[in-house]
Structure 1
């Protein structure tokens, strides 16, 4: 410790001791953190109460994996569908390109055709990047297509190194560094996907490996990006949790100990324990500029971090959407439903059919008086989705009045209140339906027919 340098940290004006340098720990037996991940028990979340300081970058952004990880859990998109979605991502990202990149497979002709068509658009953002097998032939393919960057899989937990690859840590590290060097020699910037980082030995393998990656980047004068992949969704954002499960602990280690600049670091989360969104936000807060997402969270098993969720996380953290056109989120949801045939669960935030629909009569009464009472924000402005009330046996007069006003876009003096004769007669019909044993929600078509009948009698 006596030889470690003391220097002034200009961010907080405090003297700071130079961080410890971590070297590869080449163990004979894999460290699978059995104390945290007993396979026959629920995983453990342990704490050591070591607090990591916030390190929110000046710029943050979103990267997209809809056409890569998103295609690994569903039928492949057609070339036309990929190009249409890509157009929408460009529009959603706005003039500042908050959706910075989108990654593509290059394996099939369909994938390559989509890449060419998207690149022909000439958009600066999202930049078209690839994800390939780690071979010199594929690196050359990336360069020939005209891409500046590609993703490379570099699994980093002992689960993968010992059990899948049948290597030691040193063998794996040398293997990965040789692959990355081959990529750099072709003039392509590698993006190293640290698979299964939340079960990895952060100090004994991940940090020493990433330090070598940074050295290669300096030698070749080409940036080497690092994507921290929470492949199994084990990451947690609780203050004082231990690594490798602590998201802020991982990000701190990669930035402070491995020396990765925030602009070269991104987080890729999965939702196995319902933590994909909060973990991605945490990665931003503690020093990663990028979070990797897929539309509607479509991805392996429980899926990836939903891209649309991080758009609104961005807005909440930055205090501005920076020009992102959030109405495109609804356009994309409609496109997926009508053109692709994907069924979005109805209660999915921002995009589900029922996300801003209320059925409770007491809530409907509040909405009728002021929609801010029960709506998260102006959903009509941001998502082109006016707040709605579904009519059922609990909707009451207020719910029916709100449905009529919303559906027919009646405002001001044209709007009906809950004591209007039209509302009273529709309510009588609804009550008779449920008194007769009905248990389902009244459909829009039924309500329209009843309203038309009632209007003829008024």
Structure 2
């Protein structure tokens, strides 16, 4: 970071329309073309756990009026699993369109272009004619890759522009100036063809923000003005090092990065995206933080499937949006359950059962005391009306800890018994089933009872008690 004192003294004072205060930019940011890589060894000592230092520099909340989700299921989401078939991609794309709703809350979906299968999927998705999610691509910063974008005729493409010295010096074997000039040449090629570039600032949480990232963004915004074509900037937390703690030091501070891109780099909020990874369990929190501090777009993949520990789960950000904005803005959240069932049944992907919103057991209780609460009022132990938003009513698994309440609740949910038809803890049927369950575990059972076992025993007890048979929902 360099400061020209004369230029600083002569810079005009202007009014900030957001806070109605006069301001003057403190620094001029030009490329710091260092001779040796700055790998922030004080924060990232490779043979120790990374450190989170603080300087207590606080940036203001600045959530844009409009925020949205973008999707990387078919790009980053394919880097850690068997490739999807063309048919699977098209089916999932249809569901993403339905999930995003009429207001296009899932703005775009990015695709690889390297295989015939992926290109066929792009063509078939384009044939759908959907405005949202917009079909976009991802390429490396090379002229050869750019030819693929031109051949297909896409309006936007992502370009990999690695921004940390780990990548510039140690991987690309370039200097910062060489990397910037190389990136800008490919970006100009896009702009010359009328294609909007989306610059993926890889490894931004280990990058020199003011010595490379901000000067690079300033050059990008100059090109945006020259060509009158939007240039998006995606801040990629490639290694999951980002933190959302107030006063943390950049490059680890998520809000510090977004503030620098927006205020110092001059990138408008609507052109900034956050792309997070979950290496330190912070993908969702960091993505939400990016929204709150001035980033309009959050890039996600379905169920968090992605490189290493994965990306920000798309379904999580749907509910983060609703909590921040107080509305779903047209999103159809029941499609999340459809997607989970499609992955399990058609693709053969196993979703861990405790995964929020989509796991088999995400709203299942096994404790009898919790089941008793659900039986009295499901709001006590359910996060929201999961039946309304996900077609997933809260249920109780039956085991040796379920008690009478857990069994009664299981029967009511499984057989859709409501109001006067609902079972309570005093029901003879419930008492008989509880006796049977207790005997199972007294005889040495250690596993949860299956639905099939419970249905069979309930039918037997109904006959024994002379009860009318239930009809399952």
Q: Normalised by the size of structure 2, how large is the TM-score? A: 0.96
State how far apart, in whole Å, the 1-side matches of 2:272 and 2:354 are: 32
1:51 maps to 2:58:
yes
For 2:289, the equivalent position in structure 1 comes to 282
Query: CA deviation digits over 1:266-321, x for unaligned, max 9?
Result: 00000000000000001001111000000000000000000000000010111000
Q: Which of 447, 451, 458 does residue 451 from structure 1 map onto?
A: 458
For 1:63, the equivalent position in structure 2 comes to 70
State how far apart, in whole Å, the 1-side matches of 2:446 and 2:131 are: 52
State how far apart, in whole Å, the 2-side matches of 1:276 and 1:21 are: 32
For 1:119, the equivalent position in structure 2 comes to 126
For 1:160, the equivalent position in structure 2 comes to 167
Answer yes or no: is the 8 Å Cα contact 1:149–1:190 preserved in 2.
yes
State how far apart, in whole Å, the 2-side matches of 1:454 and 1:221 are: 74
Query: CA deviation digits over 1:224-272, x for unaligned, max 9?
Result: 1110000000000000000000000000000000100111110000000
Mean Cα deviation higher: 144-153 or 133-142: 133-142
1:90 maps to 2:87:
no
The alpha carbon displacement at 1:4 in A equals: 3.3
For 1:76, the equivalent position in structure 2 comes to 83
State how far apart, in whole Å, the 1-side matches of 2:143 and 2:240 are: 31
Question: Matched residue of 2:9: which SS?
Answer: coil
State how far apart, in whole Å, the 2-side matches of 1:307 and 1:355 are: 16
Q: Which of 205, 212, 225 does residue 218 from structure 1 map onto?
A: 225
The alpha carbon displacement at 1:216 in A equals: 1.2
Answer yes or no: is the 8 Å Cα contact 1:36–1:43 preserved in 2.
yes
1:182 maps to 2:189:
yes
Q: Which of 296, 309, 317 does residue 302 from structure 1 map onto?
A: 309
1:133 maps to 2:140:
yes
Answer yes or no: is the 8 Å Cα contact 1:143–1:187 preserved in 2.
no
Answer yes or no: is the 8 Å Cα contact 2:191–2:227 preserved in 1.
yes
For 2:377, the equivalent position in structure 1 comes to 370
State how far apart, in whole Å, the 1-side matches of 2:187 and 2:353 are: 43
State how far apart, in whole Å, the 2-side matches of 1:133 and 1:229 are: 15
State how far apart, in whole Å, the 2-side matches of 1:211 and 1:102 are: 26
State how far apart, in whole Å, the 2-side matches of 1:192 and 1:46 are: 28
Aligned residue pairs: how many? 458
The alpha carbon displacement at 1:19 in A equals: 4.0
Q: Which of 274, 291, 303 does residue 298 from structure 2 map onto?
A: 291
Q: Which of 33, 42, 59 does residue 40 from structure 2 map onto?
A: 33
For 1:233, the equivalent position in structure 2 comes to 240
**Aligned alpha-carbon RMSD (Å):** 0.9
State how far apart, in whole Å, the 2-side matches of 1:80 and 1:26 are: 47
Mean Cα deviation higher: 48-57 or 14-23: 14-23
State how far apart, in whole Å, the 1-side matches of 2:264 and 2:420 are: 64
State how far apart, in whole Å, the 1-side matches of 2:35 and 2:70 are: 37
Query: CA deviation digits over 1:373-402, x for unaligned, max 9?
Result: 000000000000010000011000000000
Mean Cα deviation higher: 398-407 or 167-176: 167-176
State how far apart, in whole Å, the 2-side matches of 1:66 and 1:13 are: 41
The alpha carbon displacement at 1:95 in A equals: 0.4
Answer yes or no: is the 8 Å Cα contact 2:97–2:132 preserved in 1.
yes
1:316 maps to 2:323:
yes
Question: Matched residue of 2:169: which SS?
Answer: helix
The alpha carbon displacement at 1:2 in A equals: 2.9
Query: 5+ residue gaps in structure 2?
Result: 1-7, 466-473
For 1:425, the equivalent position in structure 2 comes to 432
For 2:31, the equivalent position in structure 1 comes to 24
Q: Normalised by the size of structure 1, how large is the TM-score? A: 0.99
Answer yes or no: is the 8 Å Cα contact 2:141–2:161 preserved in 1.
no
Question: Matched residue of 1:438: which SS?
Answer: coil
Query: CA deviation digits over 1:93-119, x for unaligned, max 9?
Result: 000000000000111111011001101
The alpha carbon displacement at 1:138 in A equals: 3.5
State how far apart, in whole Å, the 2-side matches of 1:363 and 1:270 are: 34
Answer yes or no: is the 8 Å Cα contact 2:398–2:407 preserved in 1.
yes
State how far apart, in whole Å, the 2-side matches of 1:10 and 1:383 are: 41
State how far apart, in whole Å, the 2-side matches of 1:10 and 1:93 are: 32
Mean Cα deviation higher: 26-35 or 7-16: 7-16
State how far apart, in whole Å, the 2-side matches of 1:329 and 1:71 are: 19
State how far apart, in whole Å, the 2-side matches of 1:323 and 1:117 are: 25
